[in-house]
Amino acid sequence: MNNILTQAWEGMIKPILFRPKRVQVAALCYRNTSDQKEVLMVTSRGTGRWILPKGWPIKGKNGAESALQEAWEEAGVQKGHVKGDPIGAFSYNKELKTGLPVPVETFVYTVHDVELSDRYPEAHQRKRKWFTSQEASNLVREPELQAILRQL
């Protein structure tokens, strides 16, 4: 009986509970106004809450390029410049189509000199809006992302 429990733990339960986090990339698109920085946010397709454009890394692109591609697809960022390495990361549980939550580590890249298009792949699925960095930090759930937005 112990052997069956050990096999179940090692083969099924432990991999589910202790699986490594999957990686996503996010684009923190910002613009400078006369007195502050504003952050471009989009609504999620599932819950409609405000989030940064983000997604899975794209084969053949590095993290920054993948983040910029997500910004195009989800927010219509047709032009922007990514500032080097990620400025931070945040964790959350993404619910897959199967209904199972998957732990995700999302690396955040800043994008400046943003130009928007009114026509983009997910325009009919999402809203987009500029918020002050403080407003944006109050809209997101993830404490690590709140801190990144407040430090912008």
Q: Answer whether residue 83 is part of any domain.
A: yes
pLDDT in the model for residue 101: 85
d(CA 9, CA 16): 10
Determine the average pLDDT of the residues in 55-81.
97
Q: Answer whether residue 73 is part of any domain.
A: yes
The pTM for the full model equals 0.85
Q: Answer whether residue 5 is part of any domain.
A: no
pLDDT tens digits, 112-129: 999 999 999 999 999 999
Q: Answer whether residue 78 is part of any domain.
A: yes
Q: Enumerate residues 6+ apart whose C-beta is below 8 A from 4.
A: none
- Which of 10-19, 30-39, 72-81 has the largest mean confidence? 72-81
Q: Which domain holds residue 94?
A: 20-150
The total number of structural domains that make up the chain: 1
Q: Answer whether residue 15 is part of any domain.
A: no
What single-letter DSSP state applies at residue 110? E
d(CA 4, CA 2): 5
d(CA 27, CA 116): 14
pLDDT in the model for residue 20: 76
| CATH value at residue 31 | 3.90.79.10
pLDDT tens digits, 28-52: 999 998 889 999 999 998 889 999 9
Q: Answer whether residue 65 is part of any domain.
A: yes
Q: Answer whether residue 2 is part of any domain.
A: no
Instruction: Tell me the β-bridge partners of 31.
Output: 38
pLDDT tens digits, 91-110: 999 887 888 888 999 999 99
